[in-house]
Amino acid sequence: MEIKTATLDEIPQIERLYQELFLEMSILQPKYIKPAKQDANFIRFTIIEEDSDILIATFENEVVGFLLIKETTTPPYTCLVEHKYAFIVDVIVGKHYQNKGIGSALLDEAKKWAAYRHLDYLELNVLTENKGAKSLYEKHGFKDTNQTMRLEF
């Protein structure tokens, strides 16, 4: 397995994994998330922009997982301490490659990505129902810092 930064050539394989990610999310929260395809232009833009990357895990020339990471800053609210940080937008390891250390390798590479840019911290969101992902993130030192609550009508 190799971890590297995605190129435009890997877009079709990343699109395939996005479909798997969106399907899994739709199973976890069917009321709010539906199976879908990711826009190839979104993937292309992420790859070419300087403040974001898609880190991919490859095995025998196949993309088996990825992590989309983006540099961002805290909102300009007077009560917030300003920070530049890395936000992990999406993480997926293909169903047949899970529990083989690929997610950990992607997170380790994300930590290096953020450190290289002298960012203050890594942040991500995870669905409450995604116990496996939550366990992985906690293993890597992520901690809850806020919680989204919803009142349904």
Q: What is the pLDDT of residues 108-128, one digit of tens each?
A: 999 999 999 999 999 999 999
Across the range 83-112, mean pLDDT stands at 97
For the record, the structure tokens of 35 come out as 């199976």
Quote the mean pLDDT of the chain. Answer: 96
Find the largest Cα–Cα distance for the chain.
Answer: 50
Rg (CA), the chain: 16
Identify the band that residue 102 occupies on the pLDDT scale cut at 50, 70 and 90: very high
For the record, the structure tokens of 67 come out as 């992590």
Across the range 63-77, mean pLDDT stands at 97
Across the range 20-34, mean pLDDT stands at 97
First to last CA, the chain: 47
Reported pTM: 0.95
Q: What is the pLDDT of residue 3?
A: 98
